[in-house]
Amino acid sequence: MSLVLAAVGAAVAALIQSTVLPFAAAGAGGLDLVLVIAVVWTMALGLEGGLVWAFLGGLVIDVLLMRPLGLTAFIDLLAVGAAWVTGLILVRAIYPVIVVTAATLAGISVPLTVLLYEALRDVPGGVDPTAGLVRSTILAAIVAALVAPPALALARRTPVEEVERVDW
């Protein structure tokens, strides 16, 4: 059930990111909503749901914004992997760690997206990869601060499943 919720949520978040956020007040066009929610989901609820968020949300964003197919999904999957490793290093995900990790990864993803886009397609001269870096990082921290408490509450209510081991 949680993977279905992640898939539907990723599609809705990608629609919001590509249709509403570019026209929102305070310049929220630089916010990568799917990446932030995927990182929070990964650190609070587990890797599988975060991978669904990142892959499906990234593909929907690529299709809607006419980017090279798979570019956003690739960057989001890298961020989810980094969040998962951070979650492994820190055994218990706590609120400040989730917010800082989401903001840091969102800040890294902005110039990485521009650089990979330049490598795949011709971009007009004068495009600065760091133009919206501070704004998008601050917005990512705010969104992560708002999304993390419900995710952590859901993680506490969800029973921990035992890891299934294969018998050889």
pLDDT of res. 159? 67
- Which CATH topology does 2-154 take? Arp2/3 complex 21 kDa subunit ARPC3 (1.10.1760)
SS (H, E, C) 19-32: HCHHHCCCCHHHCC
pLDDT of res. 114? 79
pLDDT of res. 154? 84
pLDDT of res. 129? 65
pTM score, two decimals? 0.85
- Closest CA relative to residue 44, chosen from 74, 6, 14: 6
The CB-based long-range contact list for 67-72 (8 Å cut-off, 24+ gap) reads 67/117, 68/117, 68/120, 68/121, 71/113, 71/116, 71/117, 71/120, 72/34, 72/113
pLDDT of res. 36? 94
**Residue type for 84, please?**
W
pLDDT of res. 64? 92
**Residue type for 99, please?**
V
User: Could you read off the pLDDT tens digit of each residue along the chain, which spans 168 residues?
Assistant: 578 988 999 999 999 988 888 887 565 557 889 999 999 999 988 899 999 999 999 999 999 988 889 999 999 999 999 999 998 888 677 888 999 999 999 988 888 887 888 888 876 677 676 777 888 888 889 999 999 999 888 888 876 555 455 555
